[in-house]
Amino acid sequence: MADYQEYRRRVLRKRWRRRFMATALLLLLLLVGAIGMLWKSLHREQRPSGVGQNTILQEVTQDNTWNTASYAVARQLTVQTLADSAATALDFRMAALPKSSTAVGKEWFNDVSFVGDSLTQGMQLYEEGMQNAMFCAYKGVGPNVIVNGTTCKRTDGVAEVPLEALTAQQPRAIYVLLGTNVLGRDTDYSSFLTYYRLMLDMLSQTLPNAKIYVQSITPVRPEVCQKSGHEGLNRDRLCQINNELAAIALEKNCYFLNLWEVLADENGDLIESYAQPDGYHLRPAGYAVWTDYLCSHTEG
């Protein structure tokens, strides 16, 4: 636990330094802009009134499209984006919440909500899972669905907007597991991470008193990435993405849970006896160890 807390403090200090640098850069840009405006104002006051020909500076600044409010906002977003996406040599295994000194029972999750896709639906359907908890789980979704307010269907066929349903539940804690459905294609996953950040921001703003647990994307069987449409679900890539998710969790003051501790074998593949025939969904035995892991990894 001490190693975890020190690691978390170190990462948070790095984040604070990046934000400080971003803020300092932004203030510097504003200062330079203010000096420029002051210089132009003084220059106009000193210029003879009879000058009839535009200077180069006048010709450039007559078209003021560069000096709009949208440009200023874009500059701010660029600075913030650079700060948030700074490279972090993070190992998701080290960033994960350590085992609690005392495990809780399933009843601890009575007022907890699980947000996810069909993997999370299994947690709701199997008695080995968390049937007593609350769920916002929908087949085939990713974080973009949460952010965009897309209407989804629950396992019972009822249609709802995930964030609205989650707000109505008013959970004490939120457990998130999303990614398998949108990462199958071997493409750039930066948009996935962007949506994930936005989703966590929305959850924090909507339910400020709820603790948020980001669960790692689960391992898969090695043959899964050989199937068409699932090329992106290879072991190395999933590890890279989990590293990113762990970094985001720390940035957003969330807890990160490493499900690979109980679901992966020594090679980093989904344990065969836990896998459904498709290689990435779980059998009841997989949900049993997942549930035990959650019960033994809580904060407060």
Residue 131 sits in a domain whose CATH number is 3.40.50.1110
Last-in-domain residue among 64, 84, 104: 84
On whether both 184 and 79 belong to a single domain, the answer is no
On whether both 107 and 63 belong to a single domain, the answer is no
Structure token digits, residue 53: 């020909």
On whether both 108 and 67 belong to a single domain, the answer is no
Task: Outline where the chain has alpha helix (H).
Answer: 2-46, 56-62, 69-84, 92-95, 118-125, 143-148, 162-169, 190-206, 235-251, 260-263, 284-295
Its domain, for residue 280, covers: 92-295
On whether both 253 and 211 belong to a single domain, the answer is yes
Report if residue 115 sits inside a domain.
yes
Q: Please state the rounded mean pLDDT for residues 3-29.
A: 68
What's residue 185's pLDDT? 79
What's residue 73's pLDDT? 26
Q: Is the pLDDT confidence value at 88 over 50?
A: no
What's residue 21's pLDDT? 73
On whether both 75 and 150 belong to a single domain, the answer is no
What's residue 187's pLDDT? 75
pLDDT digits (tens, 9 = 90+) for 210-268: 999 999 999 999 999 999 889 999 999 999 999 999 999 999 999 999 999 999 999 99
On whether both 163 and 286 belong to a single domain, the answer is yes
On whether both 30 and 151 belong to a single domain, the answer is no
Last-in-domain residue among 84, 105, 123: 84
Provide the mean pLDDT of the chain.
83
Q: How many Å from the N-terminal Cα to the C-terminal Cα in the chain?
A: 13
* Confidence category of residue 66, pLDDT binned at 50, 70, 90: very low
Report if residue 300 sits inside a domain.
no
| Residue 263: half-sphere exposure toward Cβ, Cα within 13 Å | 30
On whether both 98 and 156 belong to a single domain, the answer is yes
Last-in-domain residue among 84, 100, 118: 84
Q: Is the pLDDT confidence value at 296 over 90?
A: yes
Q: Would you say the pTM of this structure is higher than 0.85?
A: no
Share of the chain above pLDDT 70, in %: 75
On whether both 149 and 245 belong to a single domain, the answer is yes
Report if residue 235 sits inside a domain.
yes
Give the count of domains, the chain. Answer: 2
What's residue 35's pLDDT? 77
On whether both 20 and 104 belong to a single domain, the answer is no
